[in-house]
Amino acid sequence: MQYGTVLRNEIASAGTTPLIGVYDMYSASIAAQHYNGFFVSGFGFAASYYGLPDIGFIAWPDMVAFAERLRLAFPQHHLLVDIDDGYVDPEVACHVVQRLERAGASGVILEDQKRPRRCGHADGKLTLPLEEYLEKLELVLASRTDLLVVARTDATEESDILRRAAALAETDADVVLVDGVRSVDWVHRIREVIGDKPLLFNQIGGGKSPRLSLTELTDLGVDVAIYSTPCLFAAHTAIENALTELKAADGRLPEVRGAGAVGVAASTQLLERNISRHHGTSGVPHDRTPVGVPVGV
């Protein structure tokens, strides 16, 4: 399957395409019941795999291995992967892009930050000279076959944001992302300078960007929305609450009963679907919706 083309076509269709941030195979298993597209964020992966903040600790083989596991278990889902700055070196970036495309990723996001890098919604971000980033981006674009490429800028100064967004729109990148957009007005301004190039909007809980619905984003001309951390932060809250309650009950587990309660049976049933997808080499398993058709949205 040409996963890049499939995602490219969905982005070109009406409305805003949502891609849900997943941080491990279990969160992806749950998200797959509700949405047909995943986003592997650097924030979530650094947190779950290393227990570290998103400031440049990720090793590219770990990210590629995670993408391979996701694609094997979810052969029909969009899979957009955050590769940060391409792991510094342009040649490494190209190698990673080729490996991810062979693994079945739908697309990647390549940012213009320089080290030490930061989460896109954190303070203190530093950017490469535009010309240096464009050279890296062009090498990445030349190394892909079908993979969708999102060109991302982390510029924070107003004139630089618009200058870089316009320059990214002139490349062969498929989509433009300006991360950490602080207002609806700035979405309008960016949309204007990039012309017809598809626009991606990144939403993260507690981040710098406004919380907007898919309908609102569509009205603003946004083509793709990535939700970086809803699963990660929900898990944080739920685990904290569960262990607080367990401690208060002197270690007695609560009963598993009622709608939505999760125990051994419900968890096993969820994970058994991944086995069926592992073996489903021809077509879509009977309980799945094909790529391009929203699930429960």
- Residues in the chain, how many? 297
* Cα 165 from Cα 82, distance rounded (Å): 18
Is 249 inside any structural domain? no
Please check whether residue 184 is in contact with residue 212, taking contact to mean a CB–CB distance below 8 angstroms: yes
- Do the domain assignments include residue 160? yes
Query: Distance (Å, rounded) from C-alpha 297 to C-alpha 294?
Result: 6
Q: pLDDT at position 124, please? A: 66
In a domain, 285, yes or no: no
127-182 tens-digit pLDDT: 899 999 999 999 999 999 999 999 999 898 899 999 999 999 999 999 999 998 98
Give the domain CATH number at 88: 3.20.20.60
Please indicate, yes or no, if residue 28 is contained in any of the structural domains.
Answer: yes
Contact call for residues 4 and 106 (beta carbons, < 8 A): yes
Domain membership of residue 222 (yes or no) is yes
How far apart CA 292 and CA 10 sit, in angstroms, is: 6
List of the chain residues with pLDDT < 70: 118-120, 122, 124, 278-297
Residue-number span of the structural domain to which 199 is assigned: 3-238+273-279
Residue 19 is assigned to a structural domain of this protein? yes
- Which residue in 130, 118, 109 sits closest to 202, CA to CA? 109
Which has the closest alpha carbon to 19: 3, 38, 2, 6? 38
255 found inside a domain: no
DSSP 8-state secondary structure symbol assigned to residue 207? S
CA distance 192 to 201: 15
Looking at the 3D structure of the chain, how many domains does it have?
1
- Is the pTM here over 0.85, yes or no? yes
- The pLDDT value given to residue 208: 82
Q: Supply the pLDDT for residue 15.
A: 96
The whole-number pLDDT of residue 280 equals: 59
